[in-house]
A and B are shown apart, each in its own frame.
With several copies, the nearest count.
Chain A
Amino acid sequence: MNVVKNPEALSPKDYATDQEVRWCPGCGDYAILKAMQKTMAEMRAPPEKTVFVSGIGCSSRFPYYMATYGFHTIHGRAPAFATGIKLANPDLDVWVITGDGDGLSIGGNHLYHALRRNVDLQIILFNNEIYGLTKGQYSPTSRRGTKSPSTPAGSIDNPVGVGSFALGCGAGFVARSIDTTMKHLAEVFRRARGHHGTSFVEIYQNCIVYNDDVFDSFTNRKAAADMQLLLEHGKPLIYGKDRNRGIRMKLGSVGLEAVTIGENGVGEDDLVVHDERNRDLALLLASMQTPDMPVALGVLYCQPGPTYEVLAREQMDEAVAARPGANIEGLLRQGYTWTVQN
């Protein structure tokens, strides 16, 4: 269908299908799609080796718009399909697109096990803190008190911390970005793809219809600098319009705290230096809550480790090496046999 003529000169358009994009006008999903198409082109990702797998939700329509292979599956199960795909053909570059309902409500278990197993997938979760497709019910990431069709008096459960959950599941790569920050998003996609193992990316995505501006406190232009901590490996945790805010370890207790450089004797040296390999740090960064603390964006954690599909192939290769020439005839004759004569 999409015969790519010159793989050397791919453009974002080469990753766009001819299908009409059917999200609501103004939906944050558009920006993410655009960022993905652009990054794909920049990475020269071969479309024929790329598969987008999704569950069900507005976000999960994503594969229809990517001119790669795509599988729009059933609600919550995309990581399981993706695992089967990757195990069947480890050469494929497999992306999972999911939402906060798809991935964290019905699909929580599959997400958790994919992360634990470390299958080499990129799992991109569009978190809009709402069920978009089914018209606005609250989701596991909705804040307590969210009024929605199914919670007219306000929701009463605690939202899950997405990054904390992923780390708790054993994720080896956890990153965060925002729908509208094209450059940051692109970088995060690139890092996710580069990581061997399950890469988990949470994107704060605005649902203009059912949950408009729910991330406004840290995404609006004015607040951004003061409420976003853009992580860079090896760099101290500094943020703020004036680049004078930082994160350090609490004194006399366990935890992180936000401080102002130059106040109370705090210097840049007192700040925590970001270390993507430090899971403990990632746990603390993931738990930071606005408004006291900024939102940590970028790569919180990146710890490469053996990936599931590679280990599985190795076991198969070893078995083949150990029993060369294995064939069905031999298989059927394994163990005790006897001959009945004429």
Chain B
Amino acid sequence: MSSAALKEPPLPRQELESAVVRFAGDSGDGMQLTGSQFTQSAALAGNDLATFPDFPAEIRAPLGTTFGVSAFQINFGSGEIKTSGDALDMLVAMNPAALKVELNGLRAGGIVVVDQGSFTDRNLRKAGFDANPLNDGSLDKYRVIEIDISRLTMEAVAEFGLSKKDGLRCKNIWTLGLVYWMYERDRQPTVDWLKSKFAKRPDIADSNIAALNAGHAFAETAELPEGVTGFHVRPAEITPGLYRTVTGGHALAWGLVAGAKLAGLPLFLGSYPITPASPLLHILAGLKEYGVTTFQAEDEIAAVCSAIGASYAGSLGVTSSSGPGIALKGEAIGLAVGTELPLIVVNSQRAGPSTGLPTKTEQSDLFQAVYGRNADSPVVVLASRSPSDCFDVAIEAVRLATKYMTPVILLTDGYIANAAEPWRIPDFSAREEFPVRFRTDPEGFQPFARDEETLARVWAIPGTPGLEHRIGGIERDYDTGHISYDAANHQRMTDVRRAKIDGIAKDIPLQEVDQGRAEAALVVVGWGSTYGPINRAVSHLIGEGYDVAHVHLRHIWPLPDNLGELLKGFDRVLIPEMNTGQLSVVLRSQYLVDAEGLNKVSGQPFKISEIEQAIRDRLGG
């Protein structure tokens, strides 16, 4: 199948609305770098896009094994994108293991680029192939670009005198050159990047640049198999402005820092490493110049307790973990509920139960967030829907935590944390501040005196003369805050704690319909990272004339005031969730709407097509 193309005038480029490309190779093959360069080129070409890096679960698996495969997926196009794509249009497989693991993601007729040179007997065996898939017909339903990339790369870099090992490390860039040609991308930014990255090793920079150009030239000179042309993906219609790509991890960290700034507070993060929550700790640990203190505690309990202590002392206390770690924080969150201190608890959800699939995504901690504590201990629960959305949700979390003196649980997930999308950088100076006012006046001070409107208690911090007082987990007198075992007082305090949280419903936006008619035949209600696939599915089907709408919740608790009415307007309610039906329970119990779940618990995000199919099944057609 290797090429013997004639030097005819190049075939015209095929117009594409969008394309999904996945770079896959061994952990050491530099796939994440390749992916980010390609992302940058797509952004520069004006495409909308979304990316998802997919690391192996093992730290560093033996070379060439299937469990050592590292991949990076990008979906880019001229329309709205919002997911990293259902099925691959192109798979780049740098070795047999990558082909083995990733092939079933490729759509029939899709293109697979393989490095023939890596398909040695040894590598085939390591990948678990009995026969060479390049020869046994198993790739027949795809279009295969089979190139000895290893050899061609070595040839391209020969003149720079690198060792064989170093030379082969340019394979990924050679391949990037090839893919650049296929999608008509500009090489210059990558050239610039290579120069700056390897400023101290010009030989490596030059080799890589040579490889990039060689790969590009290889494609340009039409040495491609029959039926494979280059593509043209037009720019998307994008609101003008300054853009960047952002992962959920970064947007979340920045949002917390920004929120603390708007509240006028120093930020304190108490955390304990856990996949996939650690990035928040890592990123914030690097932001000390913004008044951020990070504390890697001995465990999740100490982490949340230190954050509550920091809030007590006048910082914005934040703690972060994933499901199993959040489970350990429940008792302490109860104390923050009882003592009415601000606290933000970030949960980067992962597949469970127990250790589960730490590197896979799931949305199964909604129950835990809303109901997962002993006693009546209502808290605010928010969910971010996409990487960039984390920024706004984090600010909202800070606003509510400080204004209402309450814990706020912010749900994100492993998919959002690592995925990236383009983000129009917001004008931060235009954001409304919500400065915290600590109590300082001793006159008539009572530590549990409440604001009449918000029902929030005052925040009086140690160091303030004349306000010395004691708080704790035993029930507090409604007026004085002293320990009280009184029955009526306990009822009153329970009621006011609940009323405070319920009352937040008045302070959050009414629920809007994201797409579709307010009284459509079917509404798809989502929360969190299902946003992308639901949005795309509903958009497509509205395009096809379906009477379907999309409602996506940011405020999970309390729910927006109008949500019940809104949902009653639709004939049917469908709730896709990456769990066995948790939001369904909340909405059914609140509004007695006969919401139906569409549940996927495979550690994988929904595909657009899965949601489309579910809608079609229900609306016919």
Contacts and interface: CB of A to CB of B under 8 A. Distances in A.
Q: Do chains A and B touch in the complex (CB under 8 A)?
A: yes
Interface of A: 1-4, 17, 19-20, 22-25, 46-51, 53, 56, 58, 63-64, 66-77, 79-89, 91-92, 105-106, 108-110, 112-113, 131-135, 137-138, 140, 149-153, 209, 312, 315-316, 318-320, 322-323, 326, 328-329, 331-333, 335-342
B44 A338 contact: yes
Nearest to A68: B468
B254 interface: yes
A338 B307 CA distance: 37
Contact of A340 (B61, B240, B275): B240
Interface in B253-275: 254, 257-258, 261, 266, 268, 270-275
Given A3-B442, A316-B291, A110 B298 contact: yes
Given A88-B314, A209-B60, A340 B238 contact: yes
Interface of B: 40, 43-44, 46, 58-63, 65, 67, 238-245, 254, 257-258, 261, 266, 268, 270-275, 278, 281-282, 285-303, 305-315, 317, 324, 331-332, 335, 339, 354-355, 424-426, 428-429, 442, 445, 461-474, 482-483
A72 B474 contact: yes
Contacts of A67: 468
Contact of B59 (A58, A82, A339, A341): A58
B469 A70 contact: yes
Nearest to B332: A74
Nearest to A56: B355
Nearest to B483: A64
Nearest to A320: B289
Contacts, number: 278
Contacts of A81: 305-306, 308-309, 312
B288 A320 contact: yes
Nearest to B467: A1
For the complex, would chain B's binding face be called helix, strand, loop or mixed by DSSP majority? mixed
Instruction: Please indicate which of the listed interface residues B46, B296, B463, B473 has the most CB atoms of chain A within 10 Å of its own CB.
Output: B296
A340 B290 CA distance: 29
A92 B463 contact: yes
Contacts of A46: 465
Nearest to A22: B58
B59 A338 contact: no
A115 B29 CA distance: 44
A248 B299 CA distance: 40
A49 B462 contact: yes
A3 B305 contact: no
B289 A87 contact: no
Nearest to B335: A74
Contacts of A85: 309-310, 312-313, 462
Nearest to A17: B470
Given A1-B442, A49-B462, A80-B305, A150 B470 contact: no
B463 A49 contact: yes
B298 A152 contact: no
A1 B468 contact: yes
A19 B309 contact: no
Instruction: Please indicate which of the listed interface residues B243, B286, B300, B313 has the most CB atoms of chain A within 10 Å of its own CB.
Output: B313
A331 B240 CA distance: 20
Contacts of A72: 355, 470-474
Contact of A77 (B240, B286, B302): B302
A243 B133 CA distance: 61
A80 B306 CA distance: 5
12 contacts: A1-B469, A4-B466, A25-B62, A63-B470, A71-B472, A73-B308, A77-B332, A83-B297, A88-B317, A113-B302, A149-B278, A331-B254
A23 B469 CA distance: 20
B36 to A, nearest CB: 9
Instruction: Please indicate which of the listed interface residues A20, A71, A331 has the most CB atoms of chain B within 10 Å of its own CB.
Output: A71
Nearest to B445: A1
A21 B575 CA distance: 41
A309 to B, nearest CB: 9
Given A48-B465, A337-B244, A138 B293 contact: no
A150 B290 contact: no
B59 A336 contact: no
Contacts of A91: 463
B310 to A, nearest CB: 4
Contacts of B469: 1, 69-70
A170 to B, nearest CB: 13
A326 B305 CA distance: 29
Nearest to A78: B305
A84 B289 contact: no
A83 B288 contact: no
Given A85-B309, A87-B295, A131-B273, A69 B428 contact: no
Contact of A19 (B65, B286, B442, B482): B482
A123 to B, nearest CB: 14
Given A76-B299, A77-B332, A89 B305 contact: no
